[in-house]
Amino acid sequence: MDFSISQDDRIAVDAFSRYLEKEIAPFHDRPEEFTDKENVQAALLGLLDYGMGNGLVAEKFGGLGLSTTTVGLLFEQLAKTAPDLSIVALIQLEAGLLLASGNEYQREHYLAPILNAEKIACIGISEPGAGSNIVEISTRATKVEGGYRISGEKQWISNGHYSDFIICVARENDDPQAGLALMIVDRDAGYTTKNIAKMALNRQSTAQVFFDDVFVPDENVLAPAGEGLRRLMTLLEGSRPLVGLLAVGVAQAAFEQAVAYAQERSQHGKVIAAHQLIQARVADMAVDIEAARLMLYAALDKITRGERADLQSSMAKYFATEAALRVVRHAMAIHGGNGVTREFPIEELYRIAPILAVTEGTSEMQQLIIGRSLLGHSAF
């Protein structure tokens, strides 16, 4: 096994880190509230040179054709600097992967604008009554002349409120698995959204999306019934490690802040970095981050090599998001009373970490996926 980073990747990461510090960090310093579409698009446009939004799409379709490992290295840096913006970029990456396997019309009208940051996509999976268990999706697509009529509601949809189109998971028939399809729905077709205020990550949109007899033409069917679920499972297999790296980025930021604070703050006649319990906390934080990072890149390496990685992806995502929770708790404790004030960034990271344990499948759902793979029996 080779754990080294290639020279090309190292150069790319260093260049991206410098760009983030100069251009993106100020984006994250703005008030923690919903950011309008124009600001988000401007930020996305600047990220394209570094593969955020277009990196996973093959060059023949207009992307950069980077490996999942390279994209992961870059994505971790973005997550450490601007967790909110990394979610926007993640959805663009996921949508790009789905659309690259579509037909020529779909690639021209939806993929190309994503790769140029001209349009913002969202992906509609979760519903009020169907979260982690995709086969319970009830949003209905009814066949009509020339296309479909979609009715239903989606919830917790990242990028939803400022999206130009949504890749919607809809049910064509009552078969729990074979009845699911993927359909591209334009904002102009009539879906509506309502932004959801969260405990953190409010610089990006998480929304409810409503479909009331919205028409979708036949040419916008991305995956017909019988193929939709398989396409979603493949997508999640690749995206879960990236969510895990988002958690690692947050944990790394918390770690660096805690280390800097411990080296400056004095107590009992010496800096707190010299106290045994502080050193024990820092050691636990470093071990959690390193272990999570290794698990995540092992999963991404399997995906890069074209191997099945559903078990490794779930294990890595589960461990990384839970590790981030432990790390931010340690970082908060090291800051003491100052950690609960808005003057120190650790307070916000402390609110972000729990959200990541829910994103792209809760920790409990990852445990069930892992258990099913190891035991051969489904508990859901």
CATH level 2 (architecture), domain 229-375: Up-down Bundle (1.20)
Integer Cα distance of 27 and 348 in angstroms = 15
Contact 120, 44 (CB under 8 A): yes
Q: Tell me, rounded to whole angstroms, the distance of Cα 292 from its chain centroid.
A: 16
Paired tokens of 175: 């078969």
Helix spans in the chain (H): 7-19, 25-29, 37-47, 68-81, 83-100, 104-106, 112-115, 228-264, 276-304, 310-335, 346-356, 363-375
**Selection from 191, 194, 110, 98 nearest residue 150 by Cα:** 191
Cα–Cα distance measured from residue 262 to residue 256, given in angstroms and rounded to the nearest whole number: 10
Would you give the DSSP letter of residue 1? -
* Predicted confidence pLDDT, tens digits, the chain (380 residues): 777 889 999 999 999 999 999 999 987 777 777 678 998 999 999 999 999 999 999 999 999 999 999 999 999 999 999 999 999 999 999 999 999 999 999 999 999 999 999 999 999 999 998 877 788 899 999 999 999 999 999 999 999 999 999 999 999 998 888 899 999 999 999 999 999 999 999 999 999 999 999 999 999 999 999 899 899 889 989 999 999 999 999 999 999 999 999 999 988 889 999 999 999 999 999 999 999 999 999 999 999 999 999 999 999 999 999 999 999 999 999 999 999 999 999 999 999 999 999 999 899 999 999 999 999 998 87
What phi, psi does 20 have (nearest 5°)? -60, -40
Q: Which of 25, 55, 41 is nearest to 304 (CA)?
A: 55
Measured in degrees and rounded to the nearest 5, phi and psi for residue 369 equal -65, -45
CB atoms within 10 A of CB 317: 33
Least Cα distance to 302 among 72, 54, 58 occurs for 72
Cβ pair 172, 143 in contact under 8 A: yes
Distance linking the first and last C-alpha atoms of the chain: 35
Name the CATH superfamily, with its identifier, for domain 7-115.
Acyl-CoA dehydrogenase/oxidase, N-terminal domain (1.10.540.10)
Domain positions in the chain are 7-115, 121-226, 229-375
Taking a C-beta distance cutoff of 8 angstroms, is the pair 86, 72 a contact? no
Q: In this structure, which amino acid lies at residue 194?
A: K
Spatial CA neighbour of 39 closest among 115, 121, 120: 120
- pTM of the predicted model as reported, rounded to 2 decimal places: 0.95
Same fold, 7-115 and 229-375: no
Residue 350 and residue 338 in contact, taking contact as beta carbons nearer than 8 Å: no
Q: Measured between alpha carbons, how far is 221 from 205 in angstroms, rounded to an integer?
A: 25
Under 8 Å between Cβ of 85 and 162: no
Q: Are 55 and 66 in contact (CB under 8 A)?
A: yes
Pairing of strands 140-144, 192-195: unpaired
Q: Which two tokens stand for residue 362?
A: 């809760």
* Record: fold of 121-226: Butyryl-CoA Dehydrogenase, subunit A; domain 2 (2.40.110)
The reported pLDDT for the residue numbered 378 is 87
Helix (H, G, I), strand (E, B) or coil at 53: coil
